[in-house]
């Protein structure tokens, strides 16, 4: 079974060039090695060669034992721009991602990025990405300039996604209250995980997965704290009428249908997620090439799991193949 890395990130060079040219709310400088530094509210990223050079990346990933990567953009996302700029940049990035997938199908596929600060434009771009560019879905950020994904304004996007049988990969971004997370890299270490958890719980309690059952959801970083907190969410469903207003089953019944990537390299945490959702709902992920990611640790953590070999092979690649209809 090929190894498929579901969670990793790529900045298309055309997208980086457009940010530098502007107008954009992203400020770019370069470090001593010539790597672009992308500064945006609350954080910055260093775009190392593997983030932006597809030839370098293809060789590097293959040497590390990954057969296929599902490319996605990463923070800051186009939604921090003005809506018209966001739509233009998302379209440009998706064209570039699709070209990589079309030119190098043995090694790469991709999910689209969307101009999420304009839900109607996002619905149109998702349809274009799936029908014309042959991408399988899109990555959503866990909040959109502070607006939760469960907000009613996103209904047109979810209606379109449901009609298209889309995959939605929820990836964290700067949480509300990020000003309290500026020390010790607490935003990516803690805040990201909490924001994914909050987004998933809010979507479920609002009834989005129940009303749009054909959308397939994937949560980054092993779902944040979802496998750990699911029992508490179910107790909320039993205790509080507000938690039953939009759903007709306990939250865990929906969350067990989500997929979870393995960007948590602790064996006990991985076993907890498998125990919660089942091995069929877990997809391999590395967070490559971010400093906090690791293909080696992804592979080692999965190799060490005391699970049946068919389950291990499903996590390494079979589940992603099924999810993306590869």
CATH number, position 88: 3.20.20.140
pLDDT of residue 64: 96
Task: Specify the pTM.
Answer: 0.96
Report the domain count for the chain: 1
Residue 117 clears pLDDT 90, i.e. is over it: yes
Higher local confidence (pLDDT), 40 or 69: 69
What integer pLDDT is reported at residue 18 of this predicted model? Answer: 96
Is residue 63's pLDDT more than 80? yes
| Both structure tokens of 69 | 């990567």
Give backbone dihedrals phi and psi of 108, rounded to 5 degrees, phi first.
-140, 140
Query: Residue 312: what pLDDT?
Result: 98
The pLDDT confidence band at residue 129, using thresholds 50, 70 and 90, is: very high
* Residue 178: pLDDT over 80: no
Q: Is the pLDDT of residue 41 over 80?
A: no
pLDDT at position 174, please?
84
The answer to whether residue 181 scores a pLDDT higher than 80 is no
- Which domain covers residue 287, as residue numbers? 4-324
Q: State the Cα torsion 280-125-114-314 to the nearest 10°.
A: 10
Tens digit of each residue's pLDDT (9 = 90 or more) over 73-99: 999 999 999 999 999 999 999 999 999
Report the percent of the chain where pLDDT is more than 90: 92
Residue 180 has pLDDT above 80, yes or no: no
Contacts of the segment 100-106: beta carbons below 8 A, 24+ positions apart? 100/10, 100/12, 100/54, 100/71, 101/71, 101/134, 101/135, 102/134, 104/54, 104/58, 106/67, 106/68
What's the whole-number mean pLDDT along residues 9-17?
97
Tracing tokens 């721009």 back to the chain, one arrives at: 81
pLDDT digits (tens, 9 = 90+) for 257-311: 999 999 999 999 999 999 999 999 999 999 999 999 999 999 999 999 999 999 9
**Residues contacting residue 185 through CB under 8 Å, at least 6 positions apart:** none
| Average pLDDT of the chain, as a whole number | 96
């Amino acid at each position: 079974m090929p190894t498929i890395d579901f969670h990793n990130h790529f900045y298309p060079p055309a997208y980086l060039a457009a940010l530098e040219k502007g107008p954009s709310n992203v400020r770019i400088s370069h470090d001593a090695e010539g790597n672009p530094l992308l500064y945006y509210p609350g954080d910055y990223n260093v775009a190392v060669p593997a983030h932006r050079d597809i030839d370098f990346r293809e060789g590097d990933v293959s040497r590390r034992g990954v057969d296929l990567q599902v490319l996605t953009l990463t923070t800051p996302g186009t939604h921090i721009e003005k809506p018209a700029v966001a739509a233009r940049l998302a379209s440009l990035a998706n064209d570039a991602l699709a070209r990589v997938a079309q030119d190098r199908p043995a090694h790469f596929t991709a999910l689209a990025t969307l101009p999420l600060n304009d839900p109607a434009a996002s619905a149109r771009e998702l349809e274009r990405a799936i029908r014309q560019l042959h991408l399988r879905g899109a990555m959503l950020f866990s909040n959109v300039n502070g607006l939760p994904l469960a907000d009613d304004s996103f209904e047109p996007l979810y209606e379109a996604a449901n009609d298209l049988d889309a995959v939605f990969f929820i990836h964290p971004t700067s949480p509300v209250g990020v000003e309290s997370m500026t020390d010790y890299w607490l935003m990516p270490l803690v805040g990201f995980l909490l924001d994914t958890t909050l987004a998933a719980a809010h979507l479920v309690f609002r009834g989005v997965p129940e009303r749009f059952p054909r959308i397939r959801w994937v949560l980054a970083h092993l779902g944040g704290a979802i496998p750990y907190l699911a029992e508490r969410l179910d107790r909320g469903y039993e205790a509080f009428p507000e938690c039953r207003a939009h759903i007709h089953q306990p939250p865990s019944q929906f969350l067990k249908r989500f997929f979870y990537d393995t960007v948590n390299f602790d064996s006990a945490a991985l076993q907890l997620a498998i125990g919660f959702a089942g091995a069929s709902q877990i997809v391999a992920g590395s967070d490559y090439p971010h400093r906090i990611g690791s293909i080696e640790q992804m592979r080692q953590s999965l190799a060490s799991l005391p699970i049946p070999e068919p389950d291990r092979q499903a996590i390494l690649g079979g589940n992603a193949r099924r999810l993306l209809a590869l």
